[in-house]
Amino acid sequence: MRSIFVTATGTDVGKTHTSLRLIEALATAGYTPGVFKPIETGVSGTPQDASLLLERCQHHNDNFLSLSPTDVTAYTFSLPAAPLCADKKKIVSIDTIVDTYRRLSSLCDILVVEGAGGLMVPVTETTMMIDLITLFESKALLVTPSRLGCINETLLSIEALKTRNVDFDWCVNLYEEKEHFATVTQPYYDAHFPDWWSVEEGLQRFVDAL
């Protein structure tokens, strides 16, 4: 396995939070991690997510010390929208994204790739975010929220990953409506997914089992 693709059920679910913790967990397990943010939108100046990922990675991988945030992204756009919509000049090339992935992969043991939005976010007219997972031959880590309605979002995302035959695991980022999760959501997960885990409590076990 060359990479772990951190995706989510949608925006503002906790991909960056999870990716940062994943970098630490990989380092603790003895890996030398790398980072890649294929596309970041809503960028004004320096890409924020890429900057956070790179800074954390540089604590554990000297090969990334000379890189800048724009080195660990293939494309950035100012409009906070799906890449297809933010890319007004239609400059995104999947080949460029794959080439950047390969270059960064050569600098680490495992590359932590953080997606944008959810699985079915359009990257180009013919490519969705979920397609990048397949192109990279990554293991996917699906991050799901803890707010009301997350069961539906989680099941739909799991169904999409299974339909595409993507190797994946999933976890809950317990922060939104956390105080209600145990009563409105957890009973279903306990009954149907008894091995479910949270970012806060299960991430190191996920890494150790790789």
37 catalytic? Reply is yes
Q: Which DSSP state fits 138?
A: P
Q: Could you give the CA distance from residue 82 to residue 71 in angstroms, rounded to a whole number? A: 21
Q: List 73's β-bridge partners, or say none.
A: 37
Cβ atoms < 10 Å from Cβ of 56: 22
Please say whether the beta carbons of 159 and 131 come within 8 A: no
Q: What angle do CA 71, 74, 77 make, to 5 degrees?
A: 110
Q: What angle do CA 154, 157, 160 make, to 5 degrees?
A: 150
- Number of domains composing the chain: 1
Looking from the CA of 40 toward its CB, the CA atoms found within 13 Å total: 24
- pLDDT of 59 reads 97
Range of the domain at 98: 3-208
Please say whether the beta carbons of 79 and 46 come within 8 A: no
Please say whether the beta carbons of 3 and 105 come within 8 A: yes
- Give the contacts of 204 (CB within 8 A, at least 6 positions apart): 25, 28, 29
- pLDDT of 32 reads 97
- pLDDT of 192 reads 97
Q: Which domain CATH number covers 33?
A: 3.40.50.300
- pLDDT of 76 reads 97
Q: Per the confidence metrics, is the pTM higher than 0.75?
A: yes
- pLDDT of 1 reads 62
Please identify every stretch of the chain with a pLDDT value under 50, giving residue numbers as ranges: none
Of 15, 37, 89, 162, the active-site residue reads: 37
Please say whether the beta carbons of 143 and 18 come within 8 A: yes
